[in-house]
Amino acid sequence: MISQAIPEASIYQPRPAKLIRTEAIAEREKLFEFEFRDGGELGHKPGQFVEISLFGIGEMPNSISSSPTKNCSFELAVRNVGNVTSALHGLTEGSTVGIRGPFGNGFPIDKLKGNDILIVAGGIGLFPLRSLINYVLDKRSDFGRLMILSGSRTPQERMFVSELEKWQERRDMELLETVDRGDEKWTGNVGVVTTLFPKVDIDPQNTFAITVGPPVMYKFVVAECKKKAIADEQILLSLERRMKCGVGKCGHCQINGVYVCQEGPVFSYAEIRKLEEAI
């Protein structure tokens, strides 16, 4: 006896998608472009993620790197760190994977509209941010200034180099880059990503700072944003947690009472302040 209706489909059942293109991004990172076998669309928002399955190996969460303005196909950028990721790196074009999602809240596009956007990317934090950047560029007139601060550990570990170069050339956006450790060829900034903050001038009232990067980075970035008087509500972070189900059941991604896969992965600092274990 139970009042809840039994659903027709399993939330754990992925949709088959075909790998149509791969592209090396950096030494351990690769971009994968997929199309659903059934011809359907993913229908995501920037900042959302999917669960990607390689049956026999496992399933893992991965942000969507392409902008929803790009129709039909979608892209995932993946760093090879373990089982699923390394199996993915070994896939050839034409292979089938399973996709569930999109999951999570994504960046609050509606709130961002009309505002300046300050993006702070650390390492592969650029993967989910690329979706937003390309979205903003595709709908350029909907948004104010677009500023990107991007930090990599070394020049070799810069992600999406050719895109960075294109962005560098565009007049309708600003891109500042830095590396933790330079080499002979590197002529740009050296230092962690927060060292770029003094180089941008912003209007805190109308700016949303959006940051994604390794866990250690967040505290420092938030401090810089606050120095620039950006309100807590306008500082946005995307968090990584272990995830198994992506649908708010398995408990792994829980930070205090919130499920990162449901209420996140994007949070404002105002929300995070109340979450003891978030950053």
Partner 1 sequence: MENRIIEKQNMDVFVNNLINSDAEVVGAKRKDGKYAFGKLADATELCLDYDLALYPPKSYLLPPKETLIKFELGEELEAEPVVEAERVILFGVHPYDIKAIELLDVAFSGTNPDINYLSRRAKVTIIGIDCLNPNPNAFCASLGTATTDTGFDLMLTDIGASYVVAIGSSEGEELLGKYAVTREATQSELVQRDEQRQKALAKYKVALSMSAEDLPELLDKSWDSPVFKEKSEKCLSCGSCVMVCPTCFCFDVQDDIALNLKQGERYRQWDGCMLVDFALVAGGENFRRDSETRFRHRMYRKGKYLWERYGKLGCVGCGRCASACLAEIASPAETFNTLKEERRQHD
Partner 2 sequence: MKPRLGFFDFTGCEGCQLEVINFEIELVELLELVDIVNFREAMTEKGEDYEIAFIDGAITTESDISRIKEIREQAKIVVAMGACASLGGVNCLKNFRPMEENLKIVYGDCAGYYNTIPARPVSAVVPVEYELPGCPMNRYEFLKLAKALLLGKKFELPNYPVCVECKMVGNVCVFDKGGFCLGPVTRAGCSAICVTTGRHCWGCRGLVDDPNVNSEKEILQKHGLTVDDILNQFRIFNGYLEVSK
Ligand X SMILES: Cc1cc2nc3c(=O)[nH]c(=O)nc-3n(C[C@H](O)[C@H](O)[C@H](O)COP(=O)(O)OP(=O)(O)OC[C@H]3O[C@@H](n4cnc5c(N)ncnc54)[C@H](O)[C@@H]3O)c2cc1C
Binding site for partner 1 (CB under 8 A): 1-2, 4-14, 16, 53, 55-59, 81-82, 85, 96, 98, 214-215, 240-242, 244-245, 247-252, 254-257, 276-277
Task: Look up residue 103 and give its amino acid.
Answer: F
Q: Is the peptide bond before 102 cis (omega within 30 degrees of 0)?
A: yes
Nearest residue to the partner ligand X, using Cβ: 82
Q: Which does 71 bind (CB under 5 to 8 A by kind): partner 2, partner 1, ligand X, none?
A: none
In a 13 Å sphere around the CA of 215, the CA atoms on its Cβ side amount to: 6
Binding site for ligand X (CB under 6 A): 49, 58, 60-63, 77-79, 81-85, 124, 127-128, 240-244, 265
Give the ranges where the chain is alpha helix by DSSP (H).
83-89, 109-112, 126-138, 161-169, 217-227, 260-263, 269-272
Residue 210, SS3 per DSSP: strand
For residue 106, how far is the Cα from the chain centroid?
9
Q: Would you say 70 or 244 has its CB closer to partner 1? A: 244
Residue 171, SS3 per DSSP: coil
Q: Which does 215 bind (CB under 5 to 8 A by kind): ligand X, partner 2, partner 1, none?
A: partner 1
Task: Look up residue 73 and give its amino acid.
Answer: S
Examine residue 57 and tell whether it contacts partner 2 (CB under 8 A): yes
**Least distance CB 202 / partner 2 (angstroms):** 45
Residue 207, SS3 per DSSP: strand
**Least distance CB 78 / ligand X (angstroms):** 4
Count, residues near partner 2 per rule CB under 8 A = 7
Instruction: Name the site residues for partner 2 (rule: CB under 8 A).
Output: 56-57, 82-83, 86-87, 90
